[in-house]
């Protein structure tokens, strides 16, 4: 069921408690290309998604109080600020991923970037953990971990080191990195799935790896508010417990599948585009060499 | 140019000769003949000691709890100091005063690995001294005059300070600095461990906006923390002392040239 809000003159309605399993709804209605007058525009509002478990179910590793503040106040405040800042702008109605990438503005972020990214990061973080988590992954995820880090324990070591050496506030990530550049003429001459790797990295404040076109698989919040109530300043204990008792390797595995599929699809698109470009090039050469060509083929073949 | 620092500022730098004397009182009896070789035989170390805040850890209750200070000073500040000493153990950056060390390791914006630890040790020393039990309220005398001159009124300054603290995203500090070039007071917000000393400015008051400074007491209510700091903790005594020192380096007024 979709809800729409009538946003009169850019006003923001206070957020109601979200229904369980709520999803983002968004569409700015337009009539025949003409924008509706401002007062009658139907605007989309991003919602605060609840974690897929109750706030006390992660005890004793992450207390109910922490979740009440971390999700209930910090995360909620970012959602509210984001909605305030995008109301009435072009970003209103876009999906959250898009808002994050656009507002990052290639390293010169807009003011709303911190809110958009923190909403994204926290959604991602709540999904990454579960009651009774921990253990070891299996299947393709474990294979790739062993291929790219040597062993599961080595990957954990590197993840812990990233989380502990992130100075100040920030996040540590396990990402799937496709071997491609976001530059028009940079072409990978031998694209293969083997060139894509799992990588551990850390980012400051609100930055997250989707702005670099990576596919995040796992995140840990190392802002102090994430662990100070439960662990005080012992970040190392928090990170260890996170990895041993909270991480949901199933979710990470699913994300890996999605990431691999996405990378494969983009590789296929790149390939088709390259073939088209090649065809265009050879065709234009042909036109140049044979001056009196009869055929009138379009170069955009 | 090293500033002459009152004892309250400098983390104790143990003079090489003193350290030697402390540690080889037993060796002196054994190796009388090798008196000239003492300095070679004994390993001499300078280190940066952790200074105590100038009040007991529970003196700032209820605005900053004892537990916060136990963790903030006892674990975090101490941790920075230990890490710094470990890093400098075999380093060419030996025997500097804290301020020199910070400026050197800042390296004009390309900080060396020791910078974070050095700056955070200094920042926290400065922060403890920027607060006092029964603090807050209004400054007086020269500090008040300068604030009124540069901000219009004390309440303007207070609002600006609180606003600046609320606007900080992530970890960092809010400072009242005396800008040496502009010769005026200014409120400055810095991230992580950045300290206005690196620009040659003179800090007068600082507020730690890292979450570990307030999370146990205020959780996410940053506004209450900052307001309590302004109303009950800020030490205008320290600010006055620092301004007086600063005036030795920055000319804040018109010189009083006597007319013949």
Task: Find, in chain B, the residue whose alpha carbon is nearest to that of A203.
Answer: B170
Residues in chain A: 301
Q: Which helix (H) or strand (E) holds B208?
A: strand B202-208
Residue A76 near chain B (CB below 8 Å):
no
Q: Is the pLDDT of residue B20 over 90?
A: no
Q: How confident is the model at residue B5 (pLDDT cuts 50, 70, 90)?
A: very low
Q: How many CB pairs under 8 A join A and B?
A: 51
Residue B238 near chain A (CB below 8 Å):
no
> What ranges in chain A are assigned the alpha helix state H?
64-69, 76-86, 96-104, 113-128, 139-149, 152-165, 228-231, 235-241, 249-289
Residues 136-195 of B with CB under 8 A from A: 169-172, 191-193
Q: Please tell me the predicted confidence (pLDDT) of residue A289.
A: 57
Q: Which domains does chain B have, with CATH numbers?
A: 66-250 (3.55.40.20)
Q: Is the pLDDT of residue B232 over 80?
A: yes
Contact list, A168 vs chain B (CB under 8 Å): 170-172, 191-193, 210
Structure tokens at A30: 């337009």
Q: Please tell me the predicted confidence (pLDDT) of residue A102.
A: 94
Asked if B146 and B185 count as a contact pair (C-beta separation under 8 A), the reply is: yes
Beta bridge partners of A34: A31
Asked if A24 and A83 count as a contact pair (C-beta separation under 8 A), the reply is: no
Contact list, B75 vs chain A (CB under 8 Å): 232-233
Q: Please tell me the predicted confidence (pLDDT) of residue A31.
A: 38
Cα angle A255-A257-A263, degrees, rounded to a multiple of 5? 100
pLDDT digits (tens, 9 = 90+) for B108-120: 999 999 999 999 9
Q: How confident is the model at residue B45 (pLDDT cuts 50, 70, 90)?
A: low
Q: Please tell me the predicted confidence (pLDDT) of residue A15.
A: 45
Contact list, B76 vs chain A (CB under 8 Å): 233
Please indicate whether, in this complex, the C-beta atoms of A74 and B211 are within 8 angstroms of each other.
no
Which is nearest to A120 in space by CA: A74, A81, A90, A75? A75
Closest Cβ–Cβ partner in A167, A206, A225 for B211:
A225
Q: What is this model's ipTM?
A: 0.79
The ranges of chain A with pLDDT < 50 are 1-36, 40
Residue A224 near chain B (CB below 8 Å):
yes
Q: Record the pTM.
A: 0.79
Q: Please tell me the predicted confidence (pLDDT) of residue B145.
A: 94
Residue A169 near chain B (CB below 8 Å):
yes
Beta bridge partners of A173: A201, A219
Q: Which helix (H) or strand (E) holds B175?
A: strand B172-179
The mean pLDDT value for B207-215 works out to 96
Residue ranges of domains in chain A: 64-257
Q: Please tell me the predicted confidence (pLDDT) of residue B233.
A: 96
Q: Please tell me the predicted confidence (pLDDT) of residue A35.
A: 47
Asked if A49 and A76 count as a contact pair (C-beta separation under 8 A), the reply is: no
Q: Is the pLDDT of residue B34 over 90?
A: no
CATH topology of domain A64-257: minor pseudopilin epsh fold (3.55.40)
Query: What is the overall mean pLDDT for chain B?
Result: 85
> What would you measure as the largest C-alpha separation in chain A, in angstroms?
81
Beta bridge partners of B175: B188, B206
Q: Please tell me the predicted confidence (pLDDT) of residue A293.
A: 57
Residue B77 assigned to a binding site: no
Q: Please tell me the predicted confidence (pLDDT) of residue A64.
A: 96
Please indicate whether, in this complex, the C-beta atoms of B76 and A169 are within 8 angstroms of each other.
no
Residues A233, A50: Cα–Cα separation, whole Å: 27
3-state secondary structure of A141: helix
3-state secondary structure of A243: helix
Please indicate whether, in this complex, the C-beta atoms of B170 and A224 are within 8 angstroms of each other.
no
pLDDT digits (tens, 9 = 90+) for B175-210: 999 999 999 999 999 999 999 999 999 999 999 999
Q: Which of A233, A235, A236 to mutate to test the interface with B (most CBs of B within 10 A)?
A: A233
Beta bridge partners of B186: B177
Closest Cβ–Cβ partner in B169, B193, B216 for A228:
B216
């Amino acid at each position: 069921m979709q809800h729409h809000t009538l946003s009169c003159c850019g006003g923001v309605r206070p957020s109601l408690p979200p229904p369980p399993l709520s999803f983002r709804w968004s569409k700015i209605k337009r009539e025949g290309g003409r924008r509706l007058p401002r007062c009658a525009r139907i605007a989309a509002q991003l919602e605060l998604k609840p974690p897929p478990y109750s706030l006390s179910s992660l005890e004793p590793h992450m207390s109910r109080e922490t979740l009440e503040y971390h999700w209930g106040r910090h995360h909620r405040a970012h959602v509210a600020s984001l909605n305030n800042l995008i109301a009435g702008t072009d970003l209103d109605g876009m999906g959250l991923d898009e808002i994050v990438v656009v507002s990052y503005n290639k390293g010169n972020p807009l003011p709303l970037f911190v809110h958009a990214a923190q909403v994204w990061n926290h959604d991602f973080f709540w999904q990454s953990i579960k009651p009774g988590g921990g253990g070891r992954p299996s299947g393709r995820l474990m294979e790739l971990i062993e291929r790219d880090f040597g062993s599961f324990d080595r990957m954990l070591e590197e993840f812990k080191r990233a989380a502990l050496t992130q100075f100040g506030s920030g996040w540590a990530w396990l990402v799937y990195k496709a071997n491609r550049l976001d530059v028009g003429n940079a072409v990978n001459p031998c694209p293969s799935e083997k060139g894509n790797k799992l990588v551990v990295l850390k980012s400051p404040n609100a930055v997250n790896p989707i702005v670099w076109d990576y596919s995040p698989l796992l995140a840990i919040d190392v802002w102090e508010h994430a662990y100070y109530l439960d662990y005080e300043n012992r970040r190392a204990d928090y990170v260890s417990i996170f990895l041993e008792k909270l991480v949901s390797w199933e979710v990470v595995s699913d994300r890996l599948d999605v990431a691999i599929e996405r990378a494969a699809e983009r590789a296929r698109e790149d390939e088709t585009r390259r073939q088209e470009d090649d065809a265009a090039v050879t065709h234009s050469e042909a036109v140049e060499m044979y001056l009196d060509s009869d055929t009138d083929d379009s170069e955009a073949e | 140019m090293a500033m002459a620092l009152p004892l309250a500022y400098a983390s104790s730098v143990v003079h090489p000769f003193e350290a030697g004397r402390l540690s080889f009182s037993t060796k002196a009896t054994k190796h009388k003949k090798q008196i000239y070789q003492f300095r070679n035989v004994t390993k001499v170390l300078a280190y940066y000691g952790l200074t105590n805040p100038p009040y007991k850890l529970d003196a700032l209750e209820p605005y900053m709890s004892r537990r916060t200070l136990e963790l903030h000073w006892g674990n975090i500040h101490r941790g920075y100091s230990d890490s710094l000493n470990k890093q400098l153990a075999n380093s060419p950056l030996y025997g500097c005063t804290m301020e020199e060390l910070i400026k050197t390791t800042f390296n004009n914006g390309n900080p060396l690995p020791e910078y974070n630890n050095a700056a955070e040790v200094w920042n926290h020393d400065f922060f403890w001294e920027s607060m006092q039990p029964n603090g807050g309220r209004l400054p007086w005398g020269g500090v008040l005059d300068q604030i009124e001159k540069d901000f219009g009124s004390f309440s303007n300054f207070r609002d600006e300070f609180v606003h600046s603290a609320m606007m900080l995203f992530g970890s960092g500090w809010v400072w009242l600095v005396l800008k040496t070039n502009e010769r005026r007071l200014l409120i400055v917000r810095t991230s992580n461990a950045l300290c206005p000393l690196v620009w040659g400015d003179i800090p007068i008051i600082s507020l730690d906006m890292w979450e570990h400074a307030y999370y146990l007491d205020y959780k996410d209510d940053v506004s209450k923390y900052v307001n309590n700091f302004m109303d009950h903790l800020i030490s205008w005594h320290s600010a006055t002392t620092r301004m007086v020192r600063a005036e030795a380096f920055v000319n804040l007024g018109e010189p009083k040239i006597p007319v013949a």
